[in-house]
Structure 1
């Protein structure tokens, strides 16, 4: 190419550039708390997004789940050194609002993502709002505890139908009968959950309380108001009986409680949907020695409901600075893309909060997710309180007070009284 030709080409490029200026690539700083199977699936989604987009790229960092994550969010937001986009538990919404670390998600934001509030299950959207109705996060999933079961311990009983599916559990007494059947059929520990861990104890306790119509913390901040105190005592009594009968493990931490089920020693497991990948991976590798299923926690008490939470997307405060509009639009583009590809996240056991995916034929064919997907409509989220939610004083009270009670160190009445006093003392 001659110098004259090169000059002419450069001039033409300048003219074209001035007519249609190129948009700068947006780099989105992302923080999440996903490890294990969740982490593998989220990293795959991020990689796919980056491959499909030349104008937006995600730079992701995974931090430690729980208190460390939310502490880092609080400190980084104060000095303006946080991420552009983060994952967030909706049960932490009240604390996030109290700390002032969340920015509102506007109608314009949703439009930029190609979303609207009506695209999501009502319970998840309401949990993503502040008291005044302002949206502060976009739900990504609904995750809950479900009842896993080992079919081998129930064969020949009334608790398996002709297709080998769990049936006949419509009360606490039914469930206890099923555990006794499993024990008689050789199950060493008929029911497993993390009896010595905060999450395992809290989620079972809260489910039993909610199924009675009980309230842990009222909107006005009262702990176990009215008849809820007696309902809480009843929940602890039930869990204590399961312990005294030898149906559940002694002070089991999370990993040990899972191992009891995967090794074939337990007939039932109450645990999160996030353990579905563990079960399917073991099944696919031939390492699982039994047939299993998973269903919504049955109606053991008066109402069909189960503890639940949601992972969501949130945009944190950046100190005194406001996010550049083009950057914010890019963040919302990422959120919209993730929602549209939520079927890949459902592979981790979760129920998509985005109804176009949750109601798709592809999700309907996904098992066992589709079997327990009804919990999306029946879920009871944690109380809207700064002392409730993941890694909160309510979880601490579960492991420090409720767990000793179910192991016989406190009466249900004393345990509930101590829990009320502890949570009340932590209220502002």
Structure 2
């Protein structure tokens, strides 16, 4: 264990003192990379923006490399460091474990944290297998603490508004769904190998990394469960150079996954997840076609929602853009005046807001570990369908 310099410690304490909430929640985060940075930004910001019944204190950040973890603590604003997640769980100043690690570690860390009576936020996908996810969901139900799966895109205001419009019946009965998540960071075959290309570490490739998000988003938006899928997956580049030029390593996950799906209520859908869509940087796209209208969203235009109101006269009908920045839109009353746009990082702040509200005020937590399990069952069925070249039912 070590402690960052006194200025950072005082800054962390001062942040807690300025926040509105009465209860303190000590955050212990495992992970110092991309997701660690995003989650740190959220914990730094949440009580400065939202009035909440609980206050986040950035108590401890944990990583395997001591020097790197110290640097992350100083940069992100954590009060102390650990290099062993077991020691992190054992600390009295940690009330919530925030798990930002590769999928092969999620189950072990989350189960230990829940057994110790800690709240848990676990990045998606919840686990690498259905069996792990089932054990985690059962432990969360039994623990009596709050356990959330980090499907952050539910917290994009436009997506939350989309769900509200669906629930209000504005597009009628949903008949079709089109959902895809497109990136291009692996297009170059000489791009180096990472843990995300290992089935042992990541569980799957584009399917779990990106497909998990569209599966959860569609469950969230429609309220319907997946019933069966028909899928194919493809790996375009079989091996990649190791960082540092020390040889090559095999790619043991999918590069792209495509599938058809039947959902409850007679909904049919098409889904795609790929890291080979040249020119697409972070294009999560969802379109819902209903009996009375259509809603469409694109993460690369995350402040906008497209709405076609089919109840309008044909001479006046057409897609209209809703700029989701008004104070009566989800989460927006705490931010800036209308027209002042939010960004990618704000969804993580909204996630932290909802988690603290659940801990401090008893609000229901969603997405729960049960939601993470539901998504994991769909991912598993997609993998089996691609392997067997057959329709595969989802067992709930």
TM-score (norm 1): 0.32
Larger radius of gyration: 1
Greater RCO structure (CA 8 Å; 6+ sep): 1
Larger helix proportion, structure 1 or 2? 1
